A and B are shown apart, each in its own frame.
Chain A
Amino acid sequence: MSRLSLVLHFIRRDLRNRYLGTFSGGLWALVQPLVQLAVYGFVFVYVFKAAAPGANAPGFVPFLALGLWPWTAFSEGLSRATTTIQDNAPLIRKIAMPREVLVCAAVASAFLIHGLGFCAIAVALWMFGVPIDLVSLPFALLTFAQLFLLGLGFAFLFAALQVFVRDLSPALPQLLMLWMFASPIFYARDSFPEQYRSWLQINPFAHYPESLRASMLHFGSIGWRADATALLVAVCVLVAGWAVFRRLNPHFEDFL
């Protein structure tokens, strides 16, 4: 119980300090992925002249938006959580505290911000006349919650490893970039070269943009087996990440 309130405390502190001293405050949370969306939208639609990704997809921008927001939440949560143990070393070295709280808070605050951003962009797209299915927004948020579990699992793993292997955090942006382009965010699975398409199978993130598009844009469809597999994978990653974290946790202080 006290752990939960600690997580909430750290989330509050994180949110407050992130946008403290900026003019628009919390608006930045929305502005940053919006700018990203605008840039990618412009480059892909006007420069690369990307065709609409599928016959029944309503344009590239909504297609992209449904991939970009979950990715932003996932990647930001991961990169913040990876260094969180190291960043809070002054605290960890002097106070006996449940360290997992720090990791949870880092991931949760990213998902909170970009989850809200996702809702906002969905409503905005709907107001601009994009045939987006707002009724399935709660289902989309459930998908987000599942993605949170997956992200948390990776976050535990990376945060624990980072304490020992400091190369992880400088390598992480490259890794995330690779991961982003290896996920069906800018493209649909169908437009991926056929001989490499099976590679998407091993990408645990690939499921999420597709699932969101299926529920909110009715673009493509996801079988229940794919849903179940994704859930299983998320839970397995979480359990494995937690196991590694718990194993290494008692030794953090020695290596910080």
Chain B
Amino acid sequence: MSDVLAEATDLAKAYPLVFRPRDRVRALWHLLAGGGRAESVTVLKNVNLQVRRGESLALIGENGAGKSTLLKLLTGVLTPTTGCVKINARVGALLELGAGFHPEYSGRDNIALAAALYGLDARETQTKIPQIVEFADIGHYIDEPVKHYSSGMVVRLGFAIVASLKPDLLITDEVLAVGDEAFQKKCVSWIEDYLAGGGTLILVSHSMYHVKKLCRHACWLKHGEIAAMGDVFAVTQAYQAYQEGKSAPLAATRANVFGQNLEFCLVELTLNGNSRAEEPLDLAQGDTLRVRVRVRSRDGRVPVVLFGIARVDGTPVYGVASDMDGVRPRRDADDMYSIGIAFGDLALLPGVYIVRAHPFDPEGVRLFDTLERSLVINGQSREIGMVRLTHSWIGVEADTRERAGAAS
């Protein structure tokens, strides 16, 4: 079960610089004569990775980090400048939206071509076409040239083809970003079934939600090199922390907020005594979360402050404002108020959350400002959802065997 399906060793890729036609001729000459290399720009270097059967690996990173290039190298579309790629599987690849469609030909023609390129004979292709058409679900467009498709339809068709081929190794690039919600769900549930059935996946996505949902491992590419690789939660956390650190020019936008001289603005947000915005706070289930803010009030009026916890995708988990519980911020100076809240025995399930604070006017009507911090709850719980609700089982016997198994 541990056979390696894809392996990259010391992989590097440099694209030649070809701004002028002259460069192309020179590059041609270099290649034919086998002489020195032309000028080039390195987009990927020192990449070593292994993907075993049944594994699911996510490639994450900023735009231009080399994710797509790495996928192209793995699928064999690109030739590495140095290093090598070994693939021991039938690969189904979906690169940069669309499985290599010719825009002039109809959806059906493109299906036939994709099947032929995958190595299916005409009869197998015929049996698969209805299945593909049904999965893609793009109506009469299937007989129209692909150039008339919307980008969502192209992805639908591409994914439908790859899904029907049932490859050993599925390599996809941002497929989930384009389709509508219904299709995304369809894709995600298909990929889950595929993985449950022993399939192997390499996925590029900017959606940490999908990455964490579908993959067990992640590889973070930064400027063409692997910055971190390993467990999906650890790597995505490191990546998200880095991303937030990059948006530290937030400080500048904060200055902007102060400059606007709003009636109320947040000066500081601390989580468990830590006020550095770039670091997410790590907690375990059941810990206590203490959130404190300082609010500047232009006219010295007493603000209402709302604290909230939301999922990374923005879904609110819980929110409460000071006026709801009949409390007021403490006055520290003429124009400065502070308030804190403690959430004891945190019921949040493992995952990444956002802690938010907002000041309102004394009437609790107008919202003036927002500060956010990331909160990471660590743990290995298999429970589902966002919070653990207080519960007790009714009419059951203790399953000692199962508990012993879980404890070991």
Residue numbers in A under 8 Å from B95 (CB-CB): 93-95
Q: How far is the CA of A247 from the CA of B113 in the complex (A)?
A: 26
Within 8 A of B (CB), among A1-25: 2, 5-6, 9, 13, 17
A91→B76 contact, CB < 8 A: no
- Asked whether any CB of chain A lies closer than 8 Å to the CB of B99, the reply is yes
Q: Which of B16, B101, B104 contacts A254 (CB 8 A)?
A: B16
Residue numbers in B under 8 Å from A17 (CB-CB): 104-105, 109
Residue numbers in B under 8 Å from A247 (CB-CB): 31-32
- Asked whether any CB of chain B lies closer than 8 Å to the CB of A55, the reply is no
Chain A residue nearest to B114 in the complex (CB): A95
A95→B102 contact, CB < 8 A: no
- Asked whether any CB of chain B lies closer than 8 Å to the CB of A222, the reply is no
- Asked whether any CB of chain B lies closer than 8 Å to the CB of A39, the reply is no
- Asked whether any CB of chain A lies closer than 8 Å to the CB of B78, the reply is yes
Q: Which of A9, A94, A250 contacts B112 (CB 8 A)?
A: A9
Q: Which of A6, A9, A95 contacts B99 (CB 8 A)?
A: A95
Known: A93-B100, A244-B32. A13 touches B113 (CB 8 A): yes
- Asked whether any CB of chain A lies closer than 8 Å to the CB of B24, the reply is yes
* Size category of the binding interface on chain B: 35 or more
Residue numbers in A under 8 Å from B77 (CB-CB): 92-96, 253
A253→B79 contact, CB < 8 A: yes
- Asked whether any CB of chain B lies closer than 8 Å to the CB of A42, the reply is no
Q: How far is the CB of A119 from chain B (nearest CB, A)?
A: 27
B27→A165 contact, CB < 8 A: no
A255→B18 contact, CB < 8 A: yes
Within 8 A of B (CB), among A233-256: 244, 247-248, 250-251, 253-255
Within 8 A of A (CB), among B94-146: 95-96, 98-105, 109, 112-114, 116-117, 119, 121
A161→B112 contact, CB < 8 A: no
Chain B residue nearest to A96 in the complex (CB): B76
A13→B105 contact, CB < 8 A: yes
Q: Which of A161, A164, A250 contacts B79 (CB 8 A)?
A: A250
B25→A164 contact, CB < 8 A: yes
- Asked whether any CB of chain B lies closer than 8 Å to the CB of A32, the reply is no
Chain B residue nearest to A244 in the complex (CB): B32
- Asked whether any CB of chain A lies closer than 8 Å to the CB of B89, the reply is no
Q: Which of A5, A164, A165, A255 contacts B116 (CB 8 A)?
A: A5
Q: How far is the CA of A113 from the CA of B32 in the complex (A)?
A: 34
Residue numbers in B under 8 Å from A177 (CB-CB): none
Chain A residue nearest to B32 in the complex (CB): A247
Residue numbers in B under 8 Å from A6 (CB-CB): 116-117
Residue numbers in A under 8 Å from B121 (CB-CB): 5
- Asked whether any CB of chain A lies closer than 8 Å to the CB of B15, the reply is yes
Q: How far is the CA of A165 from the CA of B29 in the complex (A)?
A: 11
Q: How far is the CA of A2 from the CA of B95 in the complex (A)?
A: 23
Residue numbers in A under 8 Å from B78 (CB-CB): 253-254
A94→B25 contact, CB < 8 A: no
- Asked whether any CB of chain B lies closer than 8 Å to the CB of A36, the reply is no
Q: How far is the CA of A250 from the CA of B102 in the complex (A)?
A: 21
Q: Which of B18, B102, B116 contacts A88 (CB 8 A)?
A: B102
B102→A91 contact, CB < 8 A: yes
Residue numbers in A under 8 Å from B297 (CB-CB): none
B28→A95 contact, CB < 8 A: no
Residue numbers in A under 8 Å from B374 (CB-CB): none
Q: How far is the CB of A38 from chain B (nearest CB, A)?
A: 32
Q: How far is the CA of A6 from the CA of B122 in the complex (A)?
A: 11
Residue numbers in B under 8 Å from A9 (CB-CB): 112-113, 116
Residue numbers in B under 8 Å from A92 (CB-CB): 77, 100
B105→A164 contact, CB < 8 A: no
Q: How far is the CA of A167 from the CA of B28 in the complex (A)?
A: 13
Known: A90-B103, A166-B21, A251-B79. A95 touches B27 (CB 8 A): no
A164→B28 contact, CB < 8 A: yes
Residue among A2, A90, A96, A167 with max Cβ neighbours from chain B (10 Å): A96
- Asked whether any CB of chain B lies closer than 8 Å to the CB of A97, the reply is yes
B116→A91 contact, CB < 8 A: no
Known: A247-B32, A255-B16. A95 touches B105 (CB 8 A): no
Q: How far is the CB of A82 from chain B (nearest CB, A)?
A: 15
Residue numbers in A under 8 Å from B24 (CB-CB): 164-166, 255
Q: How far is the CA of A211 from the CA of B270 in the complex (A)?
A: 91
Residue among A13, A93, A248, A254 with max Cβ neighbours from chain B (10 Å): A254
Residue numbers in A under 8 Å from B75 (CB-CB): 95-96
Chain A residue nearest to B97 in the complex (CB): A94
Q: How far is the CA of A161 from the CA of B21 in the complex (A)?
A: 13
A90→B100 contact, CB < 8 A: yes
Residue among B16, B32, B96, B101 with max Cβ neighbours from chain A (10 Å): B32
Residue numbers in A under 8 Å from B302 (CB-CB): none
Residue numbers in A under 8 Å from B109 (CB-CB): 13, 17
A165→B96 contact, CB < 8 A: no
Q: How far is the CA of A93 from the CA of B75 in the complex (A)?
A: 11
Residue numbers in A under 8 Å from B21 (CB-CB): 165-167
- Asked whether any CB of chain A lies closer than 8 Å to the CB of B93, the reply is yes
Query: What 9 additional pairs, Cβ within 8 angstroms, besides A94-B93, A94-B99, A95-B99?
Result: A9-B116, A17-B105, A90-B101, A91-B100, A92-B77, A94-B98, A96-B77, A248-B28, A251-B31
Q: Write the residues of chain A forming the contact surface with B, with a CB cutoff of 8 angstroms.
A: 2, 5-6, 9, 13, 17, 88, 90-97, 161, 164-167, 244, 247-248, 250-251, 253-255
What would be 19 A-B contacts, judged by CB atoms less than 8 Å apart?
Answer: A2-B119, A5-B121, A6-B116, A13-B105, A17-B105, A91-B102, A93-B96, A94-B98, A94-B99, A95-B77, A95-B114, A96-B91, A97-B117, A164-B28, A165-B21, A244-B32, A253-B72, A253-B78, A254-B16
